[in-house]
Amino acid sequence: MDGHEKAQKAQNAQNAQKNGLQKMPIESLGVTNLIKPRTDLSDAQVNQICDVIRETSFAIHRYFGPGFREKVYERALVHRLSKARIKVDVQPSVMIDDEDGTELIEEVMDLIIERAVIVEIKAIRETSNADIAQLLGYLKATSFRHGLLVNFGGPAFFIKKYFL
């Protein structure tokens, strides 16, 4: 490879990196601060956490009603749960694993409560099968077992628990 080819290859790599197109092996991603689920909680304890999330979410819907962006409801839920001394991770990264356990990619969740429950927040007229599939996919491809789908955007408040 002559000097011109090396310079062209270096320029192409810089452009790819600048545009977010750089290929990196999974092992070299330098993943840090990933949220891992707690293993010390029983299903009954997680159900109690889900009850608090459900009651708090319903109170937020009663106060705000539908019509706001998802971020408003998310911040209200974070604020109220934090006041109740419940640990909330906002926009946390979790690792998506293949069926053989190979780590594939980081994915950002809406909220993870007490490192036990994934909460997917929506502010849409009504939830769809795609919204359910999204949460079930997260549960299947992570080590989390409990998830809540919460929709603040419809005329009636919607929350449903999913468990794998």
pLDDT of residue 20: 44
Q: Do 5 and 82 belong to one domain?
A: no
Q: State both tokens at 3.
A: 């000097």
Q: Please spell the DSSP secondary structure of 137-148, one letter per residue.
A: HHHHHSS--EEE
pLDDT of residue 29: 45
Q: Do 15 and 58 belong to one domain?
A: no
| Parts of the chain with a pLDDT under 50 | 1, 6, 12-13, 15-31
CATH number at residue 63: 3.40.1350
pLDDT of residue 24: 38
Contact between 62 and 152 (Cβ < 8 Å): no
Cβ-Cβ contacts under 8 Å for 17 (sequence gap 6 or more): none
pLDDT of residue 104: 94
Q: Do 70 and 125 belong to one domain?
A: yes
Look up the domain containing 137 and give its range.
33-163
Q: Do 57 and 16 belong to one domain?
A: no
Q: Do 40 and 108 belong to one domain?
A: yes
Q: Do 73 and 21 belong to one domain?
A: no
pLDDT of residue 4: 52
Q: Do 16 and 42 belong to one domain?
A: no
pLDDT of residue 21: 39
pLDDT of residue 22: 41
Domain count, the chain: 2
Q: Do 106 and 124 belong to one domain?
A: yes
pLDDT digits (tens, 9 = 90+) for 50-79: 999 999 999 999 999 999 999 999 999 999
Q: Do 23 and 66 belong to one domain?
A: no
Q: Do 126 and 46 belong to one domain?
A: yes
pLDDT of residue 11: 52
Pairwise CA distance, residues 43 & 49, whole Å = 10
Q: Do 60 and 122 belong to one domain?
A: yes
pLDDT of residue 33: 73
Q: Do 118 and 45 belong to one domain?
A: yes
